[in-house]
Amino acid sequence: MNKVWGLVGVVVCFSTCAHAAVITPVANPLVPVSSPSSVFDFNAHPGNVYGLNLGTVLNPNGIDLRDLFGMGYSATEAHNVLFKDQSKGFVNSVHVILENPVQLSSYALYLQEDSVSGSRSAREFRLFAGSTMIDDVTLLDTTGTQKYMGVYGGDNLQISNTLTNAPLTNDYTLQFVQNQDGAFGGVRAEEFAGFTTSEAVPEPGSAALVAVGVALGVAGRRRGRGNG
């Protein structure tokens, strides 16, 4: 179910489309398994099409890309996506075609590293609407030695932002830049949710998010530590 596309030209817009991203450590039980109000959520929008741009590979092969958008198909790490171990700086690129064109107003991304080693971390996240880059978030420096825990005080992060004047499109690309070299260097991404003007990014630790998490059975989110 993981389609492959080629890369496209880039127009930069994030300096005017996006505000400063909010990067917050969040307890694992508060990471949503599914976000029904997200236009990217496969449960709510089964007509969405998800694929990998040329060169991007999931590891192990049994992991399903739709797990990044509300599903739980993987037997390895249900509700998570692991990208193949590459060299630091490698850009993993996910391509999504939504059922209908939308103008995103906000998003929330959840990432997790291995708490001791910092493996599975990303140093940068980029979001494109069509060929227009609408956000570019630097998480860690380029040395490959920084970890989420050391910089943010937690191994599980929520990255969220509000967007202004983003293009109207059904064509989106998410890029995850690998932080570390070596085995288990491939990025772990837990969930991506995107919202239109009628929706809002949930606040980490808020009562509303806790309620949603309980209703969705968030505590069931799995991580296969044997895979890094």
Domains of the chain: 3-221 (2.60.120.260)
Per-residue pLDDT, 216: 32
**pLDDT, mean of residues 81-86:** 96
Q: Please report, rounded to a whole number, the percentage of residues in the chain having pLDDT higher than 70.
A: 78
Q: How confident is the model at residue 60 (pLDDT cuts 50, 70, 90)?
A: confident
Per-residue pLDDT, 217: 33
Q: How confident is the model at residue 29 (pLDDT cuts 50, 70, 90)?
A: confident
**Strands in the chain per DSSP E:** 3-5, 11-12, 22-25, 49-53, 81-82, 91-102, 106-112, 122-129, 132-138, 156-162, 169-178, 188-195
Least confident of 29-33, 54-58, 106-110, 189-193: 29-33
Per-residue pLDDT, 7: 45
Least confident of 11-25, 115-129, 148-162: 11-25
Q: How confident is the model at residue 75 (pLDDT cuts 50, 70, 90)?
A: confident
Q: Is the pTM of this model over 0.95?
A: no
Per-residue pLDDT, 215: 31
Q: How confident is the model at residue 214 (pLDDT cuts 50, 70, 90)?
A: very low
Mean pLDDT, rounded, of the chain: 84
pLDDT at 218 over 50: no
Per-residue pLDDT, 198: 57
Per-residue pLDDT, 81: 95
User: Which residues lie across from 91 on neighbouring strands?
Assistant: 177
CB 228 within 8 A of CB 82: yes
Q: How confident is the model at residue 68 (pLDDT cuts 50, 70, 90)?
A: very high
pLDDT at 205 over 70: no
Distance, CA of 214 to CA of 193 (rounded, Å): 18
**pLDDT, mean of residues 55-68:** 89
**pLDDT, mean of residues 107-112:** 97
User: Which residues lie across from 108 on neighbouring strands?
Assistant: 160, 193
